[in-house]
C-alpha cells in the first residue's frame, strides 16, 4: 500500500492533463514518453546495477542523482524529441511536460523500486515523486518562456529563464543528497514543501491559460 503514491502520482496528473487538453495528440506524446521510460528502464535493468553504497561525499552523490535521475534523462529525452520531430515549434514546446512526465512516471518508480534500500525511506516514497513532478513542471514553464524570449528577441527573458531552469533542475538533486547524508533534514523537508507548493500554484495558474500549454 505504501507504494501506491509513488506509482500513482505522475500518472494521475498526466490523466488530468490529457482530459484538460481535449487533444488526442497529447495522448500520443504521453505514449512516446511512457515507451521511452520502459525502454530506458529495461536497458538500465539489463546493463547496470542500481544498488550502490554511497560515499560520504556531497559532490559525488549530487552528481550521481543529478546526472542519472534528474537532469540528463529529462534533457536528453526532450532534446531527441525536439530535434527529431517535424512538428511546429509551438507543438514541440507544449510537448515538454506530457513527454517528460510520462517518461518519469515509469523511470522514477523503477529506479526507486530497484534500490531495495530506497523502499524503506519516506523521502524516496513520498517526497522524491513530488519533487520530480515539480521539477518537470517548473522546467516546462521555463523552456516555454525561454523560446518566447527568443521569438520576441528579449535577451533578459532568455537569461532569467535559463537560470531558473538550471536552479529548478538542480534543487531536487541537492535536497536528495542532503537527505542521504543527513544534512539539515528539517531544512530539506521545509524547502521541499516550498518548492512543491510553488509548482502546484503555478500548475493551476497555467492550467487556466489557453494556447501555450496542453492543459
Number of domains within the chain: 1
Instruction: Say if 199 falls within a structural domain.
Output: yes
What is the rounded average pLDDT of the residues 27-44?
90
Instruction: Say if 75 falls within a structural domain.
Output: yes
Burial of 52: CB neighbours in 10 Å, binned 0-12, 13-18, 19+? exposed
> Does residue 213 register a pLDDT over 70?
no
> Does residue 152 register a pLDDT over 90?
no
User: pLDDT > 70: what percent of the chain?
Assistant: 90
Instruction: Say if 213 falls within a structural domain.
Output: no
pTM: 0.89
Instruction: Say if 91 falls within a structural domain.
Output: yes
Could you list the residue range(s) of the whole structural domain that residue 36 is in?
4-207
Instruction: Say if 185 falls within a structural domain.
Output: yes
Instruction: Say if 215 falls within a structural domain.
Output: no
> Does residue 120 register a pLDDT over 80?
no
Amino acid at each position: 500500500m505504501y507504494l501506491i503514491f509513488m506509482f500513482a502520482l505522475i500518472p494521475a496528473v498526466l490523466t488530468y492533463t490529457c482530459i484538460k487538453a481535449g487533444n488526442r495528440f497529447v495522448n500520443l506524446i504521453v505514449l512516446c514518453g511512457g515507451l521511452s521510460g520502459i525502454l530506458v528502464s529495461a536497458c538500465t535493468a539489463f546493463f547496470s546495477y542500481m544498488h550502490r553504497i554511497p560515499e560520504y561525499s556531497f559532490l559525488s552523490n549530487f552528481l550521481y542523482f543529478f546526472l542519472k535521475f534528474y537532469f540528463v534523462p529529462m534533457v536528453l529525452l526532450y532534446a531527441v524529441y525536439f530535434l527529431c520531430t517535424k512538428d511546429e515549434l509551438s507543438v514541440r514546446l507544449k510537448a515538454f511536460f506530457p513527454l517528460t512526465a510520462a517518461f518519469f512516471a515509469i523511470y522514477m518508480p523503477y529506479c526507486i523500486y530497484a534500490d531495495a534500500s530506497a523502499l524503506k525511506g519516506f523521502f524516496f516514497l513520498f517526497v522524491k515523486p513530488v519533487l520530480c513532478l515539480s521539477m518537470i513542471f517548473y522546467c516546462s514553464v521555463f523552456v516555454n518562456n525561454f523560446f518566447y524570449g527568443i521569438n520576441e528577441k528579449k535577451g533578459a527573458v532568455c537569461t532569467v529563464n535559463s537560470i531558473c531552469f538550471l536552479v529548478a533542475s538542480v534543487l531536487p538533486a541537492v535536497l536528495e543528497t542532503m537527505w542521504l547524508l543527513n544534512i539539515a533534514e528539517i531544512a530539506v523537508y521545509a524547502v521541499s514543501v516550498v518548492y512543491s507548493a510553488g509548482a502546484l500554484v503555478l500548475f493551476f495558474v497555467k492550467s487556466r491559460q489557453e494556447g501555450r500549454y496542453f492543459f
